[in-house]
Amino acid sequence: MTPLNRNQMAWRVAHDIPDGSYVNLGVGMPLAVVNFMPDDRDIVFHSENGLLGMRDLKPGEEPDSELVNAGKRPVRMLPGGAFFHHADSFLMIRGGHLDFAVLGAYEVAENGDLANWRLLDSKSAPAVGGAMDLVYGAKKVLVICEHNSKDGSPKIVKEAKLPLTGRECVSKIFTDHAVIERTGDGMVVREMIEGLTFDELQDRTGAKLRLANDWKPLITPDLPVEERPSRKKQVGEI
């Protein structure tokens, strides 16, 4: 049994997003989803700071300090892209105009509660950004996160202990072990990696799971994560 790496998780999320969707990607792991979108789909990415239709820089392209995404990283616009101000940007989010938000998580509870903005032991100032807007505004909230924390504790829990970002808002969870959908009838496992049994998956999970009758193995291409030397973040970059 080999858990998916971050690229494979992002690949799996990307392949769940249908052609024609308007999508907001949260900062961190969700941003990698843009790299694995199938070429035959028109997906319009939204950024809180007033962009629709952006793409990452290509190798060799110079960054433009006036053109950044919500993570304050330089981007470029696609033909068909648009700029708008913050009130319109959050009108898009809060008014239900976005099809998907892809977010990271510290905890997802059995009822779909999400905690992803503040740790309890954190002494430094809180920072919420646009997460609380996205969880209730997007038509569907997809979560991408490791199945377990580094200490082995589950991220998908019976009840969240951390301060919530939103209640009953998560639609689907993509982990390195499984794809899990929240239904009216609880958390349903749609896909699991090969070599993992349902009982083993349940043991790694705090929430009660149910295995879908038509569950499938969770298979992705090999997508090695490039080992890059750790880079000190630049001033202004999240």
Partner 1 sequence: MIDKRRQTADEAVADIKDGSTVLIGGFGMTGEPRELCSALAARKVRGLTIVTNNAGSGEFGIGLLMKQGCVDKIVCSFPRVPGSVVFEELYEAGKLELEMVPQGTIAERVRAGAAGVPAFFTRTSWGTPLAEGKEVRTFDGKEYVMERAIRGDVALVKAYKGDRWGNLVYAKSMRNFNPVMAMGADLTIAQVSEIVELGELDPEHVITPGIFVNRVVQLEALNA
Q: What is the dihedral of CA 9, 141, 69, 83, to 10 degrees?
A: 140
Least Å distance, CB 28 to partner 1, is 13
Tell me how far apart the alpha carbons of residues 170 and 103 are, in angstroms, rounded to a whole number.
9
| Binding segment (CB under 8 A) for partner 1, from list 78-86, 98-106, 179-187, 199-207 | 78-86
Structure tokens at 80: 């068909």
Tell me how far apart the alpha carbons of residues 31 and 24 are, in angstroms, rounded to a whole number.
9
Closest CA relative to residue 82, chosen from 53, 122, 108: 53
Q: Can you give 153-212 as a three-state secondary structure string?
A: CECEECCCCCCCCECCCCCEEECCCEEEEEECCEEEEEEECCCCCHHHHHHCCCCCEEEE
* Contact pattern from residue 26 through residue 65 relative to partner 1, giving x for each residue in contact according to CB under 8 A and a dash for the rest: ---------------------xxxxx------------xx
| Binding segment (CB under 8 A) for partner 1, from list 5-13, 144-152, 164-172, 211-219 | 164-172
Least Å distance, CB 117 to partner 1, is 8
Nearer to partner 1, 126 or 152 (CB): 126
Instruction: Determine, following the binding rule CB under 8 A, whether residue 237 of this chain makes contact with partner 1.
Output: yes
* One residue of 7, 24, 148, 165 binding partner 1 per CB under 8 A: 165
Instruction: Determine, following the binding rule CB under 8 A, whether residue 164 of this chain makes contact with partner 1.
Output: yes
Is residue 66 within 8 Å of residue 231, measured between CB atoms?
A: no
Instruction: Determine, following the binding rule CB under 8 A, whether residue 184 of this chain makes contact with partner 1.
Output: no
Structure tokens at 101: 């938000």
Active site residue 107: no
| Binding segment (CB under 8 A) for partner 1, from list 33-41, 139-147, 161-169, 198-206 | 161-169
- How far the first Cα of the chain sits from its last, in Å, is 34
* One residue of 16, 57, 67, 212 binding partner 1 per CB under 8 A: 67
Tell me how far apart the alpha carbons of residues 185 and 211 are, in angstroms, rounded to a whole number.
12
Active site residues: 48
- What residue ranges bind partner 1 (CB under 8 A)? 47-51, 64-69, 72, 77, 83-87, 89-90, 93-94, 113, 123-133, 136-137, 163-167, 233-238
